[in-house]
Amino acid sequence: MQLLCLLIAVLSFVNAKPNEFTSPELWNSFKRIHLKQYVNVEEENYRQTVFNDRVAMINQHNLEADLGLHSYTLKINKFADMTHNEIVRTMSSKFKMNQAAKLSTESNRHIFHPPLNTNPSIPAAVDWRKKGAVTSIIESQGECGSDWAYTATTALEGQHFLKTGKLVRLSAQNLLDCSDKFGNEGCNGGLVNAAFQYIKVNKGVDTEASYPYKAIQGQCRFNESTVGATVTGFANIAKGNETALQIAIATVGPIGIAIDDLHDSFIFYSSGVYDEPACSTKDWSHTMTVVGYDTFNNGTTKQDYYIVKNSWGEEFGMHGYIWMSRNKNNQCGIANWASYPLVEK
């Protein structure tokens, strides 16, 4: 009976107009929470129309999730008054794929090789947050394609902690301002491995406290007296190998990855195991850091997932995190560009 009621609700929703489900109170609340201001009435009317369509999409998806058609839910967030193309232009890396491939090929002196006989002994679940290797989320990358810088600092924070026992928040802004000579392009995108190369040659990256984030590329202000961590290089995980990625997460620590995030399902993700069949396994547009893995089991369904830290602030997903599908044919290309920094003890 409950299933029938949900089906009727979905059918009713599909046949309804989007603004039938969007009250003025919801729109006003959205503007207030996200500090939205528009240049004129025409602009606000247009943004409200976009918002109405987003709310309709999110509500329909969540009704279908209640029916068991999706393994994850969506929610309204700060992007709800923006079109898909606007969000992509604002948040996704514009870096060229061939640049990433070139750097990976030229710098492949270190490849992660899983220890012999490791597979049977690695734990069924890992969460480096519980072991103190992951800093809390205190900010968002904002309207700047600096995800690569946050991915590099998060991975290095983990490695630095595991080698020294000290968790130090590192400066993404330092990388944003100073690593352009290594091919990075500030808010227009960059490469995690290029950031590691910069840190190696530069003999360190500053702490976040000494070099705070501004969400815009500025003049390099690196100060060698406030270095928070150093690297000796980086290691790549075998491309497309999820088994190697899992072993690396379990035995090495947090790992930087790159995925295809150009889907509304990712942008408005709320909770659950993200499963997007339309995700590309070849192209990438966003980098994040895997900090663990586990398996969701509700008694009837088991779903392997990665615990992934994003750089879109606590509002995104589950307090800034997303559960990405694991062992699902390398969905979203999550194992294609995985790497981590090398740190001396």
N-term to C-term CA, the chain: 61
Residue 249 binned pLDDT confidence (cut-offs 50, 70, 90): very high
Q: Is the pLDDT score of 101 beyond 80?
A: no
Mean pLDDT, residues 231-235: 95
136 CA to centre of own chain: 14
- Give the CA angle between residues 315, 321, 326 to the nearest 5°: 150
Give the model's pLDDT for residue 7: 47
Q: Is the pLDDT score of 97 beyond 60?
A: no
Q: Is the pLDDT score of 258 beyond 80?
A: yes
Question: In 3-state terms, what secondary structure has residue 12?
Answer: helix
Give the model's pLDDT for residue 95: 54
Give the model's pLDDT for residue 103: 54
Residue 210 binned pLDDT confidence (cut-offs 50, 70, 90): very high
Nearest to 251 by CA among 292, 208, 282: 292
Mean pLDDT, residues 101-114: 62
Q: Is the pLDDT score of 90 beyond 70?
A: yes
Residue with more model confidence, 240 or 102: 240
The percent of residues above 90 in pLDDT, for the chain, comes to: 79
Give the model's pLDDT for residue 12: 45
Give the model's pLDDT for residue 19: 45
Give the model's pLDDT for residue 117: 65
The Cα 149–Cα 139 span in angstroms is 13
Element (H, E) at 280: none
Q: Is the pLDDT score of 239 beyond 50?
A: yes
- What is each CA distance from 4 to 1, 9, 10, 16, 60, in whole angstroms? 5, 9, 10, 18, 16
pLDDT in tens, 14-43: 444 444 456 889 999 999 999 999 999 999
pLDDT in tens, 318-330: 999 999 999 999 9
Longest dimension (CA), the chain: 67
Mean pLDDT, residues 217-224: 97
* pTM confidence score: 0.90
Q: Is the pLDDT score of 51 beyond 80?
A: yes
Q: Is the CB of residue 291 less than 8 Å from the CB of residue 240?
A: no
* Helix pair angle (24-33, 41-66), 10° resolution: 100
For 229, the token pair is: 């961590």
Give the model's pLDDT for residue 11: 44
Q: Is the pLDDT score of 80 beyond 50?
A: yes
34 CA to centre of own chain: 21
Q: Is the pLDDT score of 125 beyond 90?
A: yes
Element (H, E) at 227: strand 227-229
Mean pLDDT, residues 248-275: 97
In DSSP terms, which residues pair with 127 in a beta bridge?
A: 292
Q: Is the pLDDT score of 183 beyond 50?
A: yes
Give the model's pLDDT for residue 3: 46
The percent of residues above 70 in pLDDT, for the chain, comes to: 87
The Cα 148–Cα 313 span in angstroms is 15
Q: Is the pLDDT score of 98 beyond 80?
A: no
